[in-house]
Amino acid sequence: MSKWTLLLCCFAFCFSLTDCCRTETNPFPVPERAAGQTDVLQLRCDPIPVVRVAFVGVGMRGIEAVRRFMYLDGVEVKAVCDLSAEKVAKANEILERNNRPKADEYVGEEAWKELCERNDIDLVYICTDWSTHTPIAVYAMEQGKHAAIEVPAATTVADCWRLVDTAEKTRRHCMMLENCCYDFFELTTLNMAQQGFFGELVHGEGAYIHDLRFLNFDEETGYENMWRLKENTEHTGNLYPTHGLGPICQIFNIHRGDRMATLVSMSSDQFGMKAYAEEKGLSERLGDDFMEGDMNTTVIKTAKGKTIMIQHDVTSPRPYSRIHLVSGTKAYACKYPNPCIAVEPNAHSVVTPAQFDSLMQVYEHPFIKEIGEKAREVGGHGGMDFTMDYRLIYCLRNGLPLDQDVYDAAEWSCLTELTEYSVKNGSIPVEIPDFTRGAWQKINGLSFAQ
């Protein structure tokens, strides 16, 4: 073998190693944006004076959404779709009780396609099981409709890219219905951050800690066909990241001047759900292998050096918590287990109840001032669901950018697969795709449209 042949072999080997390393460190590379396709940051569409809505999926979440829409101005419910004719009929009963015209009924596994193809619908509101969120939203946008999707918007990185690319190609809104962004404490801390109350933001924490064992295992009152339990048996990592992550990402201006860059994820072993299955006599039917550990903890670092911690636990006997912790160079706030605020120069202790109430009033978010009283009256997780619906319709009617865009939907949802990959590979660092393909640097600290 000549020295030149040997040298070429060495170069080829080095390039091969580089490719292997690239694949290992970045298993989720960013695909090139298609020719003629541009980002949809701050997307504005023509105002829709009366938003014509179709609901796909009217189970636990969907039927409540139909009820809340009865309190909104400028909407018409044109169609309702579900696998169950009984559930569709119940949705129409709500319309009839509120003196609204009956909606057209669609029943069946693919009936939503015919619904999306109608010419008299502006918004498709999707409340189905996780696996069908993306295909329905993509098809709706391809038919010229705006899409609103229950959480998570997608369960794989590939589906996150499908949502992003379809929104960019069609120039249609795609909003994930992350209601926790509209809870009153979260909105107030968002306003605090935007007003500089925390100083330079350093660290945030969120979680979904919610004992769901009863709903997971009960076929009558729980999830239909126990579909959510199947997610726990077949996957690991953080299966439901967006409730805790979404409000923190908005406070940290993710893809609006900063971006989540890398994560590391670790899960405990499985103890609680396996024991619960044995106690309820379901082990034979479900098997002994639950992939999801009781507690998953994920740590994220942003491009600008901030850190975020997100947790997931749906099998432990613990009080409900989303944590919602915001820490900066001047102040700190945390919602669970008890809302509190600490401020320099005496941040070693939290402020008094009177001082806390005063700060919450001073920094009350404009949305709360505008719609808070009615939101509490209508309800939906204390009012945050109604505030979310109100803002979605308000922005569509006025031709404004939505509070949550398709990049929020993709960035927050992609943790499902990224955390699983990290856990399965010894908690290795994983790069988080830049779904904006660099456009996040164009904006600095975008506030919600007013």
The pLDDT tens digits for 141-167 are 999 999 999 999 999 999 999 999 999
Q: Tokens 């199947």 sit at which residue?
A: 230
pLDDT at 228: 65
* Token couple for 46: 């023509």
Of the pLDDT bands very low, low, confident and very high (cuts 50, 70, 90), residue 9 is: very low
pLDDT of 232 > 90? The answer is: no
pLDDT of 286 > 70? The answer is: no
* Token couple for 338: 């008890």
Measure the CA–CA gap between 24 and 320, rounded to whole angstroms.
Answer: 36
Q: What is the mean pLDDT of residues 279-284?
A: 69
pLDDT in tens, 344-371: 998 899 999 999 999 999 999 999 999 9
* Token couple for 55: 């609901």
Helix, strand, coil distribution of the chain in percent, nearest 5: 45, 15, 40
pLDDT at 397: 98
Contact 332, 353 (CB under 8 A): no
* Token couple for 191: 């306003």
pLDDT at 13: 38
Of the pLDDT bands very low, low, confident and very high (cuts 50, 70, 90), residue 214 is: low
pLDDT of 127 > 70? The answer is: yes
Measure the CA–CA gap between 171 and 448, rounded to whole angstroms.
Answer: 19
Q: Tokens 């439901």 sit at which residue?
A: 240
DSSP letters of 181-242? GGSHHHHHHHHHHHTTTTSSEEEEEEEEE---HHHHH-TTTSSGGGHHHHHHHH--S-S--H
Of the pLDDT bands very low, low, confident and very high (cuts 50, 70, 90), residue 8 is: very low
pLDDT at 24: 52
Of the pLDDT bands very low, low, confident and very high (cuts 50, 70, 90), residue 18 is: very low
pLDDT of 16 > 50? The answer is: no
pLDDT of 281 > 90? The answer is: no
pLDDT of 21 > 80? The answer is: no
pLDDT of 189 > 90? The answer is: yes
pLDDT at 315: 85
Reading across the β-sheet that carries 146-149, which strands appear in turn? 104-107, 75-82, 51-56, 123-126, 146-149, 174-176
pLDDT at 3: 44
Of the pLDDT bands very low, low, confident and very high (cuts 50, 70, 90), residue 213 is: confident
pLDDT at 413: 98
Q: What is the mean pLDDT of residues 279-306?
A: 82
Outline where 47-107 has alpha helix (H): 60-69, 85-97
pLDDT at 290: 74
pLDDT in tens, 410-431: 999 999 999 999 999 999 999 9
pLDDT of 186 > 50? The answer is: yes
pLDDT at 409: 98
pLDDT in tens, 77-121: 999 999 999 999 999 999 999 999 999 999 999 999 999 999 999
